[in-house]
Chain A
Amino acid sequence: MAEFKKADSMLEWFDQRLGVINFSKVMMTEYWIPKNINFLWAMGALLMMMFGVLLISGIFLLMYYKPDVALAFDSVNYTIMHDVAYGWLFRHIHAVGASVIFLVIYIHMFTGIYYGSYKKGREMIWLSGMLLFVLFSAEGFSGYMLPWGQMSYWAAYVITEIFGGIPVIGGDLVVWIRGNFYVSDSTLTRFFMLHVLLIPVVMLGAIAFHFYSLRFPHVNNEAGEFFDYDVEAEKYLAGDKKGSKVIPFWPVFLAKDFFVMGVFLIFFFYLVFYYYGFAMDPVNFDKADGLKTPTHIYPEWYFLWSYEVLRGFFFEMFGISGKDLGLMAFAFANGIFLVMPWLDRSPTVAPANQRPYFKIWFWLLMIDLIVLTIFGKLPPTGANAWVGFASSLSFIVLFLALPVITTLEAKKLGAK
Chain B
Amino acid sequence: MKELKILAVVASLVLVTFYGIEPYAHHVMHPEGKPADFKFSDLKNVDTSLKGDVTAGKESFVNNCTACHSLTADGFDPMMSDADSAAAYGVTPPDLSLAGRIYEKNFLANFIFDPVTATKVEHKYPANGSKVYPMPAYSWMGAQEIMNIVAYLESVSPKAIDEAGLASLAAKEERTLFDVSREQNAEVFKSACGRCHDMKYGGLSATTPKVTIQGYMGSTPPDLSQYIISRGSHYLDGFINNPQEYLHGTGMPRVGLSEQAQAEVIEYMTQVGDPKKTEREELGPKVLLYLLIFAILAYLWKRKIWSEVH
Contacts and interface: CB of A to CB of B under 8 A. Distances in A.
A263 interface: yes
A255 B301 contact: yes
Given A265-B294, A284-B230, A374-B21, 7 more contacts: A39-B6, A39-B7, A270-B288, A282-B229, A370-B13, A373-B20, A373-B21
Interface string A252-283: 10011011011101100110011000100011
Contact of B20 (A77, A256, A265, A370): A370
Interface stretch (A81-89, A335-343, A398-406): A81-89
Given A258-B301, A282-B230, A373-B21, A247 B309 contact: yes
B280 A378 contact: no
Interface residues of B, number: 50
Nearest to A267: B291
Interface of B: 2-3, 6-7, 10, 13-14, 16-18, 20-22, 24-25, 28-29, 201, 222, 225-227, 229-232, 275-276, 279-281, 283-284, 287-288, 291-292, 294-299, 301-302, 305-306, 308-310
B3 to A, nearest CB: 5
Q: Is the interface of B mostly helix, strand, loop or mixed?
A: helix
A366 B294 CA distance: 33
Contact of A266 (B3, B201, B292, B302): B292
> Interface range on chain A: under 10, 10 to 19, 20 to 34, or 35 or more?
35 or more
B151 to A, nearest CB: 42
Contact of A262 (B201, B227, B291, B305): B291
Contacts, number: 121
26 contacts: A38-B2, A39-B7, A88-B280, A241-B309, A242-B308, A244-B309, A247-B309, A255-B301, A255-B302, A255-B306, A259-B299, A259-B301, A262-B291, A263-B295, A266-B291, A269-B288, A270-B288, A273-B288, A285-B227, A286-B226, A286-B230, A370-B16, A370-B17, A373-B20, A374-B17, A377-B25
Contacts of A285: 226-227, 229-230
Given A252-B306, A270-B288, A304 B21 contact: yes
A120 interface: no
B281 to A, nearest CB: 8
A259 B3 CA distance: 13
A205 B284 CA distance: 35
A373 B283 contact: no
B295 A262 contact: yes
A228 B292 CA distance: 39
A252 B301 contact: no
Nearest to A92: B280
Contact of B284 (A81, A274, A283): A274
Contact of A261 (B29, B298, B309): B298
A22 B219 CA distance: 71
B6 A107 contact: no
Contacts of B25: 374, 377-378
B298 A259 contact: yes
Contacts of A263: 295
B289 to A, nearest CB: 10
Given A251-B305, A255-B302, A258-B301, A242 B310 contact: yes
A249 interface: no
Contacts of B294: 262, 265
B57 to A, nearest CB: 42
A407 to B, nearest CB: 28
B204 to A, nearest CB: 14
Contact of A256 (B230, B279, B288, B302): B302
Contacts of B226: 77, 285-286
Given A269-B291, A278-B22, A373-B17, A256 B229 contact: no
B29 A296 contact: yes
A66 interface: no
A374 B222 CA distance: 32
B306 A377 contact: no
A27 to B, nearest CB: 18
A377 B20 contact: yes
A251 B222 CA distance: 57
A252 B20 CA distance: 39
A38 B5 CA distance: 11
A265 B294 CA distance: 10
Contacts of B16: 370
A40 interface: yes
A103 interface: yes
A51 interface: no
A50 to B, nearest CB: 15
A212 interface: no
Contacts of B276: 81-82, 88
Given A241-B309, A251-B305, A378-B28, A258 B298 contact: yes
Interface string A295-330: 110000100100000000000000000000000000
A265 B18 CA distance: 19
Nearest to B20: A374
A78 B3 CA distance: 44
A105 B203 CA distance: 43
Contact of A377 (B13, B14, B21, B287): B21
